[in-house]
Structure formats: C-alpha cells, structure tokens
Amino acid sequence: MSDQTYITLNDGNNIPQMGIGVYQVPEGQQTIDAVTNALKLGYRHIDTAHAYQNERSVGRAVKQSDVPREDVWITTKLWPTEYGSGRTTAEIDKMLGRLDTDYIDLLLLHQQVGDYLGAWKEMEQAVAAGKVRSIGISNFESDRLEELCNAATIKPAVLQVECHPYFQQNELKRRIAPYGTKIEAWYPLGHGNSGLMNEPTFTKIAKAHGKTNAQVILRWHIQEGNIIFPRSTNPDHIRDNFDIFDFELSDDEMNAIRALDKNVRFFNMPLSEQETNFMQFHPAD
C-alpha cells in the first residue's frame, strides 16, 4: 500500500487525511484491536470522543503500538455538558488522563449547543498551554458557526459534519473558506446506504481501476480535500479502506461523482431537538 496524504491546517499542523473512526465501537478489546490493526496497516489518525466512551482503549492501543506517539494523530471531542468557562479546562485534563497522553492533536466541540463560546476560550488556553495542538468544531451548521468563528481568536482548524457524494456540503465549504477551516466527513460512505454504495457511476469507475465502490468513494473524498475516518472493526474492511493511495480519479470521473449530489442527509436532527437531547446526556468519566 502507498503512504497516505496529509493536509496542512490553518494553524500549520499537518493532519493525516485518512483515519479510522471508533464511533459505536465498545470500550475494551474491540476498540483496542481495531486501532492496533489500523496502526499496523499504516493509519496514523484515530477519531474518538468522550461521548463514544472508548478513549481509554484508544489511548491504550496507541501506547502499546510500535508507532511513536508523535506520529499518531488523535482527535477527540468535548460533549456539551463539558462546555463552559471554569469547566472545560478541567474536562480537558480528564480527557488527557483517559487517553493517557500528554497532548491531544485535535480537540473538537462535539455539538452546537451549550456554552460553546466559553468552552472555545478554554480550548484556546489549552493550545497555549501545550495540552492541545489544534482545535475545531463538529456539527456546527447553523448561524452558530459564524458566531463562534467571529468570536474566536484561533479559528477552527476543522469542521466535522456529515459529508458524502449524496451530501457534498459545497455551500458549507463556501461558508468556512474565509477562516481556512477544512471539512472532516463523518458518514463518508453515507452510512453504508445501499443506494449510494451501488450507484452505477461508482461501479463503472471501480471496474476501470480494479477497485471497489467504497474505495472509489473514499478516493473521491481524498481528491476533494476532505478529511475522512470510516469506521470499521472488520480487519478486511480496515485494510481495504486504506488501500486507496495507489490510484487516482480523472477529472471526468471526479465530475461524474460531483454530479451525484442530491442534498440528502442520512442523519438529521433539528436544532431544537439538539438543545434538549444533547444536554441530557452526561458521558461517564
């Protein structure tokens, strides 16, 4: 397999463009095995969150691997109940303890509710203190995105949102361009939607390159400049997802995929429900 690509963020840090996600992967051996396997294959980016309840296993897998800590990019996320002046700094310290690391490569605000402005200020302080390298946001798509960006001294390095060929987020990319913020795509494969995965466009392109439809979609993300971290615990899928750096899509192939944009989400929750639901959940330490 060829080496993966990196993207330079607006703060000068280089993030591995391809990672592995551990959303809904249980704490314990399953997470340890998935991360360990990924690192052996050449992955250098792991995306977790306090709400996923598996940070300890991610940290253990990184520590036990043969890969130097400075070569592994760890992303994690604060939950809204951890936001706020006088609170977030302590929560970051707890997060460092759970991950068993001296610093976090990328720390995100997980949702656009709660005291996100107070939390952002303490995240900026964590950068100054060397506890965090880069900071960003997740699921900020309302006008709260501009509110936070305009209030921020350090502009968000990334915005993590649903993004795939059926929902390409072109308008959101235009909104964040002035801040130099990059898109990170969750559901990069559209949550495995069969309609998306079996699109004739992907089947045709995959046949031409000797690849799978999923590999074509992931390669499209790479060439679009998106940062991705498909989730899997299946060793074969983890291997295949990473095997996308030895081919390139042509301009015509890229444009054919761009034409598939349908503005279709696979997860959609109104802001009013986010306010209620996300403030009621308190991740365990």
Q: Which residues are catalytic?
A: 52
Q: What counts of helices (H) and strands (E) characterise the chain?
A: 12, 10
Q: What is the DSSP letter of 148?
A: H
SS3 136: strand
Enumerate long-range contacts of 32-39, CB under 8 Å, 24 or more apart: 32/57, 32/60, 32/61, 32/64, 33/61, 33/233, 34/232, 34/233, 34/238, 35/61, 35/62, 35/65, 36/61, 36/64, 36/65, 37/235, 37/238, 38/238, 38/242, 39/65, 39/67, 39/72
SS3 249: coil
Max CA separation in the chain (angstroms): 56
Contacts of residue 154, defined as CB under 8 A and 6 or more positions apart, other chains included, come to: 11, 123, 124, 127, 135
